[in-house]
Amino acid sequence: MQAQLHLALWQCAPLPLKMAGNLLRLDNVAKDAAQSGADILVCPEMFITGYNIGAAQVQALAQTADGAFANAVAGIAKRHAIAIVYGYPEREGGHVFNAAQCIAADGTRLLNYRKTHLFGELDRGQFSAAPLQSALFELHGWKIGLLICYDLEFPENMRRVALAGADMVLVPTANMPDYDFVSTTMVPVRAFENQVFVAYANYVGAESDVHYGGLSSVASPNGQVLARAGQEPEVLFATVDANQLIAARMRNTHLAEARARLEDR
């Protein structure tokens, strides 16, 4: 495992239905993040198309995981030698999922994840709920999982990914100001109780009548907040350290004991 991994979380305003514009600004931010030393850039939920765009637009814009959006992001990742996590509507058969995908710095598709817990009518009116998932990808020896927004608020989701062997979980989100406690309280708690790093990348601004609260954050396995954004656009940088992960797991036994209980059933 690489001793340290350098993260960039892009807290931006949504640009709904402007796919070319979103890819262009992703290119610019990825370039800057890579030049600042980041290994991976995490975008908010449904970044490519926008989130609050309505079921008709979601259906019209949805693509397969290896479609044009993936190819465009792969080109950006390769051009700037940085891994990228981005959100988009994914089509498979008759279903459209709220998805997030990680593309490596060499353009390889590492992991595609589909949101399992849909939030309110906004989600349920646009997407199908995915089956539970705990797949991981590897980046510089780090084992990394993905969740999307509301998924984080169910403790069994984070525990499932942690039990699969994750060292860190990345969470693209589109969280509203009424739920600021998710970033300020829940993110560090999920990190502590599962002995993983958690990175939570949110929007700011608004899409129509839906407003976003910012406060993107990175928490360590001991529950410490390593970095937190405000409520304006910014790229939030944080470094996660393998030695801190090892120390937290030696000191706290929640995850090992939870695994023992599950295996004894």
Question: Which is catalytic among the residues 12, 43, 45, 193?
Answer: 45
Helix axes 68-80, 19-35, angle to 10 degrees: 20
**Distance from C-alpha of 184 to C-alpha of 25, rounded to nearest angstrom:** 28
Q: What string of DSSP letters covers 135-161?
A: -EEEETTEEEEE--GGGGGSHHHHHHH
Q: How confident is the model at residue 261 (pLDDT cuts 50, 70, 90)?
A: low
Residue 243: pLDDT over 70: yes
Number of domains in the chain: 1
Stretch 116-142: mean pLDDT = 96
DSSP state of 47: T
Q: Note the pLDDT of residue 66.
A: 98
115 among known catalytic residues: yes
- 232, 218, 70, 66: CA torsion to nearest 10: -140
- Asked if residue 264 has pLDDT above 90, the reply is no
pLDDT tens track for 208-217: 999 999 999 9
* Token code pair at residue 123: 């989600």
CB atoms closer than 10 angstroms to residue 65: 18
Question: Taking residues 164-184, what's their average pLDDT?
Answer: 97
Question: 265 pLDDT band (50/70/90 cuts)?
Answer: very low
Predicted pLDDT at 72:
98
pLDDT of amino acid 256: 81
Place 203 in a pLDDT band, splitting at 50, 70 and 90: very high
Token readout for 36 is 């600042």
Full domain range(s) for residue 159: 4-264
Task: Answer whether residue 157 shows pLDDT above 60.
Answer: yes
Mean pLDDT of 221-234: 97
18 an active-site residue?
A: no
pLDDT (mean) for 152-174: 96
CATH of the domain at 184: 3.60.110.10
CA neighbor of 214 nearest in space, from 52, 2, 44, 28: 44
pLDDT at residue 259 in the model? 62
How much of the chain, in percent, has pLDDT values that exceed 70? Answer: 97
The residues near 101 (Cβ < 8 Å, ≥ 6 apart) are 65, 70, 73, 85, 86, 88, 90, 109, 111, 112, 113
Residues 225, 223: Cα–Cα separation, whole Å: 6
Q: What is the mean pLDDT of residues 161-181?
A: 97
For residue 1, the model assigns a pLDDT of 86
Considering 12, 43, 90, 115, which one is annotated as catalytic?
115
The pLDDT of residue 260 is above 80:
no
92 among known catalytic residues: no
CA distances from 225 to 2, 12, 153, 192, 228 (A): 21, 20, 18, 10, 7
Q: Tens of pLDDT along 64-74?
A: 999 999 999 99
Average pLDDT value for residue range 181-193: 97
Percent of the chain clearing pLDDT 90 (strictly above) = 93
Question: Structure pTM?
Answer: 0.96
- Residue 92 has a pLDDT of 95
- Mean pLDDT computed over every residue of the chain: 96
Q: Are strands 4-11 and 234-241 parallel, antiparallel or unpaired?
A: antiparallel
| Candidates 12, 43, 102, 149; catalytic one | 149
Task: List the one residue out of 122, 52, 173 whose CA is nearest residue 186.
Answer: 173
Render pLDDT for 35-80 as a digit per residue (tens, 0 to 9): 999 999 999 999 999 999 999 999 999 999 999 999 999 999 999 9
